């Protein structure tokens, strides 16, 4: 297949169209799926965040209720009793504070000394806050001695035994961080967070308040100054794609928590790469399906394009053969569509070209025959004129000269006078023949004068009476135009003399601004133009040829016994100029 052929172009266009359509469908499908999956993931993260937030809010509400109950009763359940075991899930230790400081303390799950100390500054801050509120919830802090994170919650003691049996003024409980982590930390991939999702709490200092899934002992140690944490601490709620505290791209859902005394935010996040796994799988399926569709589409386009281009290639080859002169072409018509119609039209065109070519060849042969016949007739005419005119005169002169040998005196003089007349006749005959071959009067005088001379000679030799009328200015006509018109009227008069049996001829030559009109009418016997053309006459054919060379129009109107009228119209201004070249005369 030739490079750049119609088949290749069709394949290229259709494949590009198919690739474009598949690319658009794939693009729309991929991004629609991507947006839907991301929206679903954000919805899942938001649902988990709301659940965890409600659990945290409820956890602290329950712990405040437990503290208020114990402070009101003035009794602390501890040891291995039912109450102590239950509170041990949420509290690590208790502290009874008097006016001088800690007067009693202990663990809920087992007796012993706590591993941390409440500083005087913290007690003073708690005591000051209890003046205006019933319960004080402190932020998480690290024990100065052990570094273990704790969170304290305090309330005034006003039990039925006065200041309780310990004589304390307020009750402080240490909330178990493990209880908070039990809510926030989840490593189960089936929980909706997958392998990389997590929920965690962040304080106002951007440090974690719950343990990270990926960084143990991260409370108060891991800084999460992320875009979502900043927005949440500013009071916003929403979802965002950003980098987490590990500088890993994640999908994040954020909001604040509704716990009095705590300015914490909660975040639910999952790695973007894990969240996008279904999207990447969808992309792979789309690419694979697109490739399959494209291959099938390419094969179909190849078959269809070849089916379309095969008859066109056949037409192209036939056109080449037609241009090389092979006119015997008849292509098979396989279809009834536009290509079939085109093939039928081509067959008709090839047949018509063959016919026209044959006609043109015949016409060319006819023209060549006319030229040769005309030349031969001109030679015969010139030969007759030389033989009958000049030849006979020269013979007569020869005889007169030979006769001079036998004459004397006055007879010689008379013979010389007769010889002079013969010479004058020969000179006139030579001039006439020369004038017929190329009338010099056309070069010296105007065309009307040349016509009158021609008509005078014709009247003298033929017995015709010619009436001539010329109107207009003919001085600016090109010399070759004059010659062509002169030859045409010569041909017309020659035909009239030979064939028309006419007595009178009327000739009108009219010059307009942009046209020259010549009208020749005779009173002869007339003829049928179709019969003359069928018989192959050269006279009318020669006149038509000369008219076509003038780019004019000639009309011949004749009928038996009604004479003949020849009308020639030649455009002047638009067609001819002084320097126009004519190759035939």
> What tokens appear for 234 in the block?
């500013």
Q: Is the pLDDT of residue 443 over 90?
A: no
Instruction: Tell me the pLDDT of the chain averaged across its residues.
Output: 79
The pLDDT of residue 162 is 42
> What tokens appear for 390 in the block?
């000049």
Q: How many other C-beta atoms lie within 10 A of the C-beta of residue 341?
A: 12
Q: How confident is the model over 293-332, as pLDDT tens digits? A: 878 877 877 777 777 777 777 777 888 887 787 777 777 8
Residue with tokens 């996008």: 276
Q: Which residues pair with 173 in a beta bridge?
A: 94, 153
The pLDDT of residue 138 is 92
575 band by pLDDT with thresholds 50, 70 and 90: very low
Residues 6+ apart with CB under 8 A from 159: 71, 72, 73, 74, 75
577 band by pLDDT with thresholds 50, 70 and 90: very low
> What tokens appear for 258 in the block?
């509704």
SS3 state at 542: helix
74-180: CATH topology is: Beta-Lactamase (3.30.450)
Compute CA 351 distance to the chain's CA centroid, rounded to the nearest angstrom: 39
Angle at the Cα of 52 (from 231 to 151), degrees rounded to 5? 85
DSSP-assigned states of every residue in 13-50: HHHHHHHHHHHHHHHHHHHHHHHHHHHHHHHHHHHHHH
Lowest mean pLDDT among 165-179, 312-326, 391-405, 548-562: 391-405
DSSP-assigned states of every residue in 195-238: TT-EEEEE-TTSBBSS--SSSTT-TTTSB---HHHHHHHTT--E
The more confident residue out of 335 and 532 is 335
Compute CA 367 distance to the chain's CA centroid, rounded to the nearest angstrom: 54
Contact yes or no for 237/176 (Cβ under 8 A): no
Q: Is the pLDDT of residue 164 over 60?
A: no
Compute CA 461 distance to the chain's CA centroid, rounded to the nearest angstrom: 79
Q: Report the first-to-last Cα separation within the chain, whole angstroms.
A: 54
Average pLDDT over residues 324-343: 77
The pLDDT of residue 220 is 93
Q: Containing H/E element for 417?
A: helix 410-437
Measured distance CA(420)–CA(209) in Å, rounded: 153
Contact yes or no for 253/269 (Cβ under 8 A): yes
Quick one: what percent of the chain has pLDDT higher than 70? 81
Measured distance CA(557)–CA(146) in Å, rounded: 136
Give Cα separations from 506 to 15, 299, 394, 540, 553 (angstroms): 78, 81, 37, 18, 20
Q: Which residues pair with 200 in a beta bridge?
A: 267
Class of 441-585 per CATH?
A: alpha beta
Q: What are phi and psi of 186, to 5 degrees?
A: -145, 115
189 band by pLDDT with thresholds 50, 70 and 90: low
Contact yes or no for 137/180 (Cβ under 8 A): no
The more confident residue out of 377 and 533 is 377
388 band by pLDDT with thresholds 50, 70 and 90: low
Sign, Cα dihedral of 400, 405, 407, 411: positive
The more confident residue out of 583 and 524 is 524
> What tokens appear for 154 in the block?
């305090």
Residue 67's Cβ-count burial label (10 Å; 0-12, 13-18, 19+) is buried
Give Cα separations from 225 to 81, 184, 232, 290 (angstroms): 44, 19, 11, 43
The pLDDT of residue 532 is 56
Q: Is the pLDDT of residue 512 over 80?
A: yes
Q: How confident is the model over 395-437, as pLDDT tens digits? A: 777 777 777 777 766 777 777 777 777 777 778 777 666 666 6
Average pLDDT over residues 508-536: 80
Q: Is the pLDDT of residue 216 over 70?
A: yes
Q: Is the pLDDT of residue 547 over 60?
A: yes
Q: How confident is the model over 37-89, as pLDDT tens digits? A: 888 889 989 999 999 999 999 999 999 998 888 887 766 664 444 444 577 78
Q: Which residues pair with 250 in a beta bridge?
A: 242, 271
pTM: predicted TM-score of the whole model, two decimal places: 0.52
The pLDDT of residue 365 is 73
Contact yes or no for 11/1 (Cβ under 8 A): no
Phi-psi region of 216 (alpha: psi -120 to 50; beta: other; left: phi over 0): beta
């Amino acid at each position: 297949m030739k490079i750049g052929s119609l088949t290749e172009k069709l394949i290229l266009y259709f494949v590009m169209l198919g690739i474009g359509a598949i690319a658009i469908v794939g693009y729309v499908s991929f991004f629609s799926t991507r947006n839907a999956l991301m929206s679903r993931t954000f919805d899942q993260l938001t649902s988990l965040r709301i659940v965890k937030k409600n659990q945290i809010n409820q956890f602290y509400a329950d712990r405040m209720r437990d503290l208020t109950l114990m402070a009101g009763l003035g009794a602390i359940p501890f040891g291995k009793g039912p109450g102590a075991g239950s509170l041990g899930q949420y509290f690590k230790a208790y502290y009874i504070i008097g006016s001088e400081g800690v007067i009693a303390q202990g663990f809920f799950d087992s007796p012993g000394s706590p591993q941390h100390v409440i500083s005087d500054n913290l007690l003073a801050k708690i005591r000051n806050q209890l003046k205006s509120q019933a319960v004080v919830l402190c932020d998480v802090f690290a024990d100065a001695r052990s570094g273990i994170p704790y969170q304290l919650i305090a309330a005034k003691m006003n039990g039925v035994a006065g200041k309780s049996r310990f004589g304390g003024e307020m009750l402080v409980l240490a909330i178990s961080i493990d209880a908070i982590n039990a809510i926030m930390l989840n490593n189960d991939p089936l929980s909706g967070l997958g392998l990389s999702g997590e929920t965690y709490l962040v304080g106002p200092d951007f440090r974690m308040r719950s343990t990270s899934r990926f960084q143990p002992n991260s409370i108060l140690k891991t800084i999460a100054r992320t875009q979502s944490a900043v927005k949440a601490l500013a009071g916003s709620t929403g979802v965002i794609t950003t980098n987490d505290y590990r500088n890993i791209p994640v999908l994040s859902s954020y909001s604040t928590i509704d716990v009095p005394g705590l300015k914490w935010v909660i975040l639910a996040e999952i790695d973007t790469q894990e969240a996008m796994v279904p999207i990447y799988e969808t992309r792979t399926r789309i690419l694979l399906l697109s490739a399959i569709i494209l291959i099938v589409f390419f094969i179909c386009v190849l078959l269809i394009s070849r089916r379309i281009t095969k008859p066109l290639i056949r037409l192209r080859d036939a056109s080449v053969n037609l241009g090389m002169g092979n006119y015997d072409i008849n292509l098979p018509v396989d279809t009834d569509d536009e290509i079939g119609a085109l093939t039928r039209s081509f067959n008709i065109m090839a047949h018509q070209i063959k016919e026209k070519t044959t006609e043109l060849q015949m016409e060319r042969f006819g023209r060549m025959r006319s030229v040769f016949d005309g030349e031969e007739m001109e030679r015969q005419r010139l030969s007759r004129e030389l033989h009958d005119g000049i030849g006979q005169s020269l013979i007569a002169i020869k005889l007169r000269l030979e006769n001079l040998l036998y004459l004397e005196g006055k007879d010689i003089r008379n013979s010389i006078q007769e010889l002079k007349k013969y010479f004058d006749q020969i000179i006139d005959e030579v001039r006439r023949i020369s004038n017929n071959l190329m009338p010099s009067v056309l070069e010296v005088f105007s065309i009307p004068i040349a016509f009158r001379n021609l008509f005078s000679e014709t009247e003298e030799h033929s017995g015709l009476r010619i009436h001539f009328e010329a109107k207009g200015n003919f001085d600016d006509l090109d010399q070759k135009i004059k010659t062509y018109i002169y030859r045409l009227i010569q041909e017309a008069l020659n035909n009239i003399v030979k064939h028309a049996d006419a007595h009178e001829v009327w000739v009108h030559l009219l010059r307009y601004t942009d046209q020259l009109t010549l009208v020749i009418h005779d009173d002869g016997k007339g003829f049928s133009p179709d019969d003359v053309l069928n018989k192959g006459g050269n006279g009318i054919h020669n006149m038509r040829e000369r008219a076509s060379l003038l780019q004019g129009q000639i009309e011949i109107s004749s009928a038996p016994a009604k004479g003949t009228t020849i009308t020639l119209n030649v455009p002047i201004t638009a067609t001819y100029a002084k320097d126009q070249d004519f190759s035939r005369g």
